[in-house]
Amino acid sequence: MTPQPQRDPFLGFLPEIIAAPDNDELRLQCALALQTESPDRANLIRLQITLANLPSSVDHPEWFRLAAEADDLLQKHAPAWTPAWYQTENITQGEFHRGFIEAVTVPLLDPYTWPKLFTSNPIRQLRLINLTGDTDLVSLLPILARQNLTALHLDAQNLTDVALLSLLDYSLPNLHTLSLAHNDLHQRSVAALAEASRPTGPLPLLRTVNLQGNPFDPIDQRHEDQGVLVSRHIPAKAADLPPAPWLFTPA
């Protein structure tokens, strides 16, 4: 009898992890299955999950040691753990979160390639580049709306109010970060974005919005300390906008 080829544990768990990307127990089960054939990959999953769940992040006494171990593993193995076809399609800046690639920078891909991207890893954070304007983004929205995205970066992509209003026609219930810097957005679409950010809207978890460099930016004074936003001034021109969490000054 011809022996059956062993199933790759990573590929075996991947569909479940993509379907439930916040379930760390599934990732830990995958790590256990990988322990014999890929102990470094298993260790990365455990290390990054531990780091993600530390109660005080960098203030925790073990944070730097664990982060250094995870970084060492990525220095050694990240190219091998990244799908080879990413390079062919110019998909760059892959970031591993909790053991899997969750953030990538992506140009406009052929239609058949988008499903391949979202079945290759549990992609949660997407930075789109090289769009030619509204039409490109609008064509992608049905695909993006089916994903569990938490962050979408659309900086300097020649977008107008048409693109933003089209985006708001779709529900992105897990999105907490939306960056739209240096486009051509005006008060009409920004007001609609604020309305959509209410708990009953299509973007109920949206907490961070970047509108710098647009004709209308309701947050025109920011104060940062070592890269961390500590306060922001909401000018009079934003007074008529619907209340939204991303408009409020952090406590």
pLDDT tens for each residue of 9-58:
788 899 999 999 999 999 999 999 999 999 999 999 999 999 999 886 66
Q: Output the average pLDDT for the chain.
A: 89
Region 182-189: what's the mean pLDDT?
Answer: 96
Q: Residue 204: which pLDDT band, with cuts at 50, 70 and 90?
A: very high
Q: Has residue 231 got a pLDDT over 70?
A: no
The pLDDT value recorded for residue 232 is 57
Instruction: Please answer whether residues 243 and 194 qualify as being in contact, where contact means their C-beta atoms are separated by less than 8 angstroms.
Output: yes
Task: Give domain 124-251's CATH number out of 3.80.10.10, 3.40.50.10890, 3.40.50.970, 3.40.50.2000.
Answer: 3.80.10.10
| Plot region of 93 (φ>0 → left; ψ -120 to 50 → alpha; else → beta) | left
* CB contact at 8 A, 146 and 123: no
Q: What is the pLDDT of residues 87-128, one digit of tens each?
A: 999 999 999 999 999 999 999 999 889 999 999 999 999 999
Q: Which of 120, 121, 142, 171 is nearest to 21 (CA)?
A: 121
The answer to whether the pTM exceeds 0.85 is: yes
Q: Please report the pLDDT score of residue 11 as a whole number.
A: 81
What are the residue ranges spanned by the domains of the chain?
A: 124-251
Cα separation, 144 vs 171, in Å, equals 10
Whether the predicted pLDDT of 80 surpasses 90: yes
The C-alpha atoms of residue 142 and residue 137 are separated, in whole angstroms, by: 10
